[in-house]
C-alpha cells in the first residue's frame, strides 16, 4: 500500500493563494456583445472576475483538504505513525477551519453578484469588485497560520515509507549506533541511508528492498531500518523510538536484532539484552514473530566478548550471525538465510 499522505502536496500561504486567485480573475474575460451597453459590459466583466476569484479559492482550498486522507480510514500503521509525527487533533481542527470558509465564500459570491446587478453606472462595478476582493483578502489572511501549519507538517507525513502488505517485511532493531543502517544499506536497494559514527542518525523509518533469487523464480523482501531504541519505560521513550516500536508491532514479519558486543556503541551488553528480552516479551510472543540475531562489529569484537554474549543469549547457533555490517563481511550468510526462509522450494 502506498503512503496515503503521498498526495499531500505543497500548501500555499495566504499571499500565494491570493496572488493566484486575483491574477486569474483579472485575466478572465466575459463574453459580451460589442454592441452591448457600457453598463452591461461593466457588469459582465466584473461579475466574471468575482466569480473566478471565489471559484479559484474554493477549488484550491478543497484540493488542500482532500489531499489529506481521513486519519480514521487509513491502515493502523499509517494512523499510529501519523499520530507520532504530528498532532492529529490540531490537524483535524485546522482542516475544519479551512472547510468552514467555503460556505462563506459561496454566500459572498452571491451577495456581490446581486449588488452588481443593481448598479446604475459602470464605475460602481469596479468599486464592488474591489470590495469583494477586499473581503476575500481579509478572510484568507486570517487563515495564513493554518495554511502554514499544514505546509510545515506535510513533509513529515509524505516521508512515511510505503509498505506493501502483500510482501514480507523484515524490521531491523536494536540500540542506537550498533550498525542497523549499515546492515540495511549493504543488503538492500536503499543506498542513500546516512551512516555516521554517532547514535540517533536515523530519525525515522527507512525502507529498502532485497531481491531474493530462486532457481526459477525471484521475489522482493522489504527491509526496514528503524531508529535506535533505548531500554527504558515506554512512557519515557521519545517519538523517534516509538516509530521503531510501531514497526515492530504492526508490520514486521521477521525481526533482525543487532547487538554490538564491543564498547563502541556506548551501550553495554546487558542493557542491549534487556531491550531484546523486552521486545521478545511485548512485541513478538503474542504475534508469533520470529527473530534472528546479528552480532555486529566483528572487526572490533574480541572473541571472549562474542562468546560471552552468545552464552548470555542462550540461542541456537543457526539464528546468530556474526558480521561487520559496515564492510559487508559475512552478510552473504544472512542473505542466504533470508533466501532460504522466504523463497519457495523448487
Identify the DSSP state of 115. Answer: H
Residue 197: which residues within 8 A CB-CB, separation 6 or more? 177
Residue 210, number of CB atoms within 10 A of its CB: 20
CB 64, CB 91: distance < 8 Å: no
Pairing of strands 169-174, 320-322: unpaired
Domain parsing of the chain, residue ranges: 14-158, 169-342
Tell me the pLDDT of the chain (346 aa) as tens digits. Answer: 588 999 899 999 999 999 999 999 998 876 767 777 888 888 888 899 999 999 999 999 999 999 999 888 899 889 988 988 899 999 999 999 999 999 999 999 999 999 998 988 988 999 999 999 999 999 999 999 999 999 999 988 998 888 888 899 999 999 988 988 889 988 888 776 555 554 455 667 888 899 888 777 888 899 988 888 877 767 778 787 888 888 888 888 899 999 999 888 888 899 999 999 888 887 666 667 888 999 999 988 888 888 888 888 877 777 899 999 888 888 999 999 999 898 876 5
DSSP state of 199: T
Query: Given this structure, which CATH class describes domain 169-342?
Result: alpha beta
Ordered strands of the 254-259 beta sheet: 206-213, 218-225, 169-174, 254-259, 290-295, 320-322
Q: Which of the listed CATH numbers 1.10.3470.10, 1.20.120.1190, 3.40.640.10, 3.20.20.10 matches domain 14-158?
A: 1.20.120.1190
The count of other CB atoms within 10 Å of the CB of residue 222 is 22
Amino acid at each position: 500500500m502506498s503512503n496515503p499522505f503521498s498526495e499531500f502536496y505543497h500548501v500555499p500561504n495566504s499571499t500565494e493563494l491570493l496572488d493566484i486567485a486575483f491574477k486569474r480573475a483579472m485575466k478572465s474575460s466575459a463574453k459580451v456583445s460589442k454592441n452591448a451597453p457600457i453598463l452591461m459590459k461593466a457588469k459582465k466583466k466584473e461579475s466574471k472576475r468575482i466569480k473566478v476569484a471565489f471559484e479559484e479559492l474554493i477549488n484550491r482550498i478543497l484540493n488542500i483538504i482532500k489531499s489529506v486522507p481521513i486519519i480514521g480510514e487509513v491502515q493502523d500503521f499509517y494512523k499510529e505513525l501519523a499520530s507520532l509525527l504530528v498532532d492529529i487533533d490540531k490537524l483535524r481542527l485546522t482542516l475544519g477551519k479551512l472547510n468552514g470558509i467555503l460556505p462563506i465564500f459561496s454566500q459572498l459570491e452571491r451577495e456581490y453578484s446581486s449588488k452588481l446587478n443593481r448598479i446604475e453606472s459602470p464605475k460602481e462595478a469596479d468599486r464592488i469588485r474591489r470590495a469583494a476582493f477586499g473581503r476575500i483578502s481579509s478572510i484568507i489572511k486570517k487563515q495564513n497560520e493554518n495554511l502554514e501549519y499544514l505546509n510545515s507538517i506535510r513533509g513529515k507525513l509524505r516521508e512515511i515509507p510505503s509498505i506493501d502488505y502483500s510482501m514480507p517485511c523484515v524490521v531491523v532493531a536494536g540500540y542506537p549506533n550498533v550498525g542497523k543502517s549499515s546492515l540495511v544499506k549493504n543488503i538492500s536497494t536503499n543506498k542513500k541511508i546516512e551512516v555516521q559514527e554517532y547514535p540517533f542518525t536515523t530519525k525515522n523509518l527507512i525502507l529498502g528492498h532485497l531481491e531474493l533469487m530462486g532457481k526459477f523464480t525471484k521475489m522482493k523482501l522489504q527491509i526496514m531500518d528503524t531508529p535506535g531504541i533505548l531500554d527504558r519505560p515506554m512512557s519515557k521513550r521519545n517519538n523517534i523510538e516509538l516509530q521503531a516500536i510501531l514497526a515492530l508491532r504492526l508490520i514486521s514479519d521477521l525481526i533482525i536484532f543487532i547487538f554490538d558486543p564491543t564498547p563502541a556503541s556506548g551501550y553495554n551488553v546487558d542493557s542491549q539484552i534487556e531491550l531484546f528480552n523486552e521486545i521478545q516479551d511485548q512485541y513478538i510472543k503474542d504475534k508469533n514473530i520470529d527473530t534472528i540475531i546479528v552480532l555486529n562489529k566483528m572487526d572490533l569484537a574480541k572473541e571472549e566478548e562474542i562468546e560471552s554474549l552468545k552464552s548470555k543469549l542462550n540461542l541456537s547457533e543457526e539464528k546468530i550471525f556474526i558480521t561487520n555490517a559496515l564492510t559487508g563481511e559475512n552478510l552473504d550468510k544472512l542473505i542466504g538465510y533470508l533466501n532460504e526462509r522466504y523463497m519457495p522450494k523448487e
